[in-house]
Structure 1
Amino acid sequence: MANSKIPIYQPFLGAEEQKLVAECMDSTWISSQGKFINSFEQEVGKYTGAKHAIAVSNGTVAIHLAMLALDIGEGDEVITTNFTYVASTNAILYVGAHPVFVDVDSESWNIDTNKITEKITSKTKAILYTNIYGCPSEYNELKRIAKEHGVFLIEDAAESFGASYHGKMSGVLGDVSTFSFFGNKTITTGEGGMVLTPHDELNKKIRKLKNQGNSETRRYYHDVLGYNYRMTNIQAAIGLGQLGKLEEILGLKRVLQNNYEKALSDVLTFQKLPEHSTSSYWMCSVLFNSIDEKLKIESALNSANIETRPFFTPIDELPFYDEVEDCPNAKRISALGLNLPSYPGLQFEQQEQIIEIIKNNIK
């Protein structure tokens, strides 16, 4: 076992996905039209409770479409977390708006709702929040703030497919919500994403924008600037196969998370969920007590051919963003955090090996 690589993640694929892809290929409808796209949108809508679910080519363009649909642009400000994957914040720059960074809560690692109001100005158009590593953010408070100040709420749910908050599924907790179906997400289409919204007009606008701005009344006429952000029928076929095993995937990931927490909670810090919520446990994410301790464990796991992944770099530390001084939690969590292997096919014996190495190398 010591010589076989344990990856940080790998998709949970099987015969059902192969069967549906073969059916798609036999139909010859392999591009951005076909029955699997419609079925995938409908099934995701049913699962999440979303009124409208729009399949797109990846999770990044999903957020870009959210920005465009809400008419966010030059001169607007978007309040967002300083601890997330860069794609979500990049979408703010794509439309020429300005990201305003807010620190994260020290326990959930999600945007600190107590620090949002002080950042709101007359230029604020929206709050973009991320359910980091699959943990839901405090939606009720976010919704209250957004309503009080008349701004839009955008949910970056790329990492939280299958999570819930107070009985509502991730993906319906915003004026617009977005999913990613990249290869390491809870369910995958290879690449791929989805935009979800309860608003009929936003649904209509997003569908037009993702499809080259095609006119609804005249063929090959484009009456707005649009984009080729469409998902393929083959991708959607894979997604349907994945949806069929979603509960199995989530169950396996819960077992892995519980095993890690039971064995290591006395020496490591785990993410804390809000009350009445469930996580997708996209990644098993832990905080070490010091940089030296983290580096030691990282090295020991790497020597055993076990892959780990560092936490996201705070967005303001990237060279094309302005640095801020008021996000100490984001900086600390980023520096001390590490993601451990947590894919559904991880075997019990492999997880035991990971746990043993960590325990043996912590003072």
Structure 2
Amino acid sequence: MNGIPLVHASLGEQELAAVAEVFASGWPAGQGPRGKALEAQLAERFGVDGAVALSNCGVALHLALLALGVEPGDEVIVADYSFPAPAHAVRYLGATPVFADVRADTGTVDPQAVADLVTPRTVGVIAVDTVGLPADYAELNALAERHGLFVIEDAACAVGATYRGRPAGALAPVACVSFHGRKGATSGEGGALLTSDPAVAEHARLRSAFGITSIFDQAQVVGLPIPTFTEIGYNYKLSDIAAAILQVQLNRLDELLERRDAVAARYAELLGDEELLTLPRVPADRTHTWQSYLVTLDRSVDRTAVAAELRGRGIGCGHGTWASHLQPAFESKQACPVSADLFERQLAIPMHAELDTDQVERVADALRGAVRAHAARPV
């Protein structure tokens, strides 16, 4: 039996051809022609005033917080059930991440939980589009406006998703996206900061290149321009090689997301009647990119045993995502009971655009058998 991986990037000949063009151009580094073209493509697709191509989403979060003026001692409320990149970014600046619990039905941050955590030290909120499903931005943006807070959308998993007809990545004044290998559009690693505020984009662009303008642009000037370093910056640039791959991937995105949608729909058909599983819920006002497909196991099911059986049969699976407040790095004494429960019971099963019908059916059949075999109560 051939293995079925949990994730698989959809990269091929078109992407290779784009890379060859960059090799021939002589400029593979960052902030060159392909990087600029990618930024223009991103700004147009998301309908934003500024797009900055970056090496990953984590650095986009860091630059966003810098541009918004976060300082040591500030508190930033972050969605708890997530890869903890938002909390890491807050800590980079000496600020305190305050973890907000999530909704049990969607795993996205609960606006009421956010409201309950606002204090005089709170300066902003980082919402997360959990594994590709946008959060409740109407409520979150209204809450932030009432309290004078910023909102950052962590749309790492959600490129291609929508909320009330608007694209994820444009649901808050500043958004951060990822092009990691398991995303719908990928260059292996990569990310971007998207914003409606050109000043935020310019601040992020300078800080992403050690605080100076593009070396490529300087090379086009007759004479000898010598840049001046006026502030501390970072090397967060995206290479033109990766930018070229992403231009192709963004052009293919709708097709690739359609394939993921089809996989999710088939899982729902095959597993919808299994009482030992709860399938993902997508509210009617938004769409999902299915970066991951997470099932929630009944409390009677031994998740570790299920995972071991699936992996023993060559079927990839994972724990889902993290209850960030439980991670030792953050030393949090907060309670986020819904997030903690999802962290204990959710299981990721194979989800990517390369899955065929037979593979999806094999996964569903193996999962159904495994949860029944490893339930504490008889089925």
In structure 2, the residue matched to 1:236 is: 243
What is the RMSD of the two structures over their aligned residues, measured on CA atoms? Answer: 1.5
What is the 5 A alignment of 1:190-205? 190-205=188-203
1:326 is displaced (CA, Å) by 2.7
Query: Contact 1:291–1:336 (CA<8 Å) still a contact in 2?
Result: no
Which consecutive unaligned segments of at least 5 residues does structure 2 have? 219-224, 373-378
Distance in structure 1 (CA, Å) of the matches to 2:123 and 2:5: 40
What is the 5 A alignment of 1:260-339? 260-267=267-274, 268-290=277-299, 292-339=301-348
The amino acid that maps onto 1:65 is: L
In structure 2, the residue matched to 1:88 is: 86
What is the 5 A alignment of 1:10-89? 10-89=8-87
In structure 2, the residue matched to 1:115 is: 113
Query: Contact 2:131–2:158 (CA<8 Å) still a contact in 1?
Result: yes
Distance in structure 1 (CA, Å) of the matches to 2:84 and 2:313: 30
Query: Contact 2:325–2:336 (CA<8 Å) still a contact in 1?
Result: no
Asked if 1:347 corresponds to 2:356, the answer is yes
1:291 is displaced (CA, Å) by 6.0
Q: Counterpart of 1:292 in 2: which secondary structure?
A: coil
The amino acid that maps onto 1:193 is: G
1:255 to 241, 258, 262: 262
Residue identity (%): 30
Query: Contact 2:127–2:153 (CA<8 Å) still a contact in 1?
Result: yes
Asked if 1:360 corresponds to 2:358, the answer is no
1:52 is displaced (CA, Å) by 1.1
The amino acid that maps onto 2:230 is: D
Distance in structure 1 (CA, Å) of the matches to 2:19 and 2:300: 45
1:299 is displaced (CA, Å) by 2.0
Q: Deviations over 1:79-131 (max 9, x none)?
A: 11111102221000001100111111010101111121121111111100110
Distance in structure 2 (CA, Å) of the matches to 1:317 and 1:118: 20
What is the 5 A alignment of 1:128-139? 128-139=126-137
The amino acid that maps onto 1:308 is: C
The amino acid that maps onto 1:254 is: D
Distance in structure 2 (CA, Å) of the matches to 1:91 and 1:352: 40
Change (3 A) 1:264 1:150: same
Q: Deviations over 1:51-71 (max 9, x none)?
A: 211100111101000111101
1:183 is displaced (CA, Å) by 0.9
1:352 is displaced (CA, Å) by 0.8
Q: Deviations over 1:287-345 (max 9, x none)?
A: 00026342332122111111101122311211121333431100110100011101100
Query: Contact 1:283–1:340 (CA<8 Å) still a contact in 2?
Result: yes
1:190 is displaced (CA, Å) by 1.4
Change (3 A) 1:302 1:215: closer
What TM-score do the two structures reach when normalised by structure 2?
A: 0.92
In structure 2, the residue matched to 1:221 is: 228
Distance in structure 1 (CA, Å) of the matches to 2:31 and 2:78: 35
The amino acid that maps onto 1:78 is: V
Change (3 A) 1:215 1:342: closer
Query: Contact 1:291–1:335 (CA<8 Å) still a contact in 2?
Result: no
Distance in structure 2 (CA, Å) of the matches to 1:9 and 1:269: 21
What is the 5 A alignment of 1:123-162? 123-162=121-160
The amino acid that maps onto 1:292 is: V
Distance in structure 1 (CA, Å) of the matches to 2:24 and 2:114: 52
Distance in structure 2 (CA, Å) of the matches to 1:313 and 1:172: 25
Q: Counterpart of 1:116 in 2: which secondary structure?
A: helix
1:215 is displaced (CA, Å) by 6.2
Distance in structure 2 (CA, Å) of the matches to 1:191 and 1:360: 36
Query: Contact 1:154–1:177 (CA<8 Å) still a contact in 2?
Result: yes
What TM-score do the two structures reach when normalised by structure 1?
A: 0.96
Distance in structure 1 (CA, Å) of the matches to 2:110 and 2:344: 18
Distance in structure 2 (CA, Å) of the matches to 1:98 and 1:144: 23
Query: Contact 1:197–1:203 (CA<8 Å) still a contact in 2?
Result: yes
Distance in structure 1 (CA, Å) of the matches to 2:149 and 2:236: 26
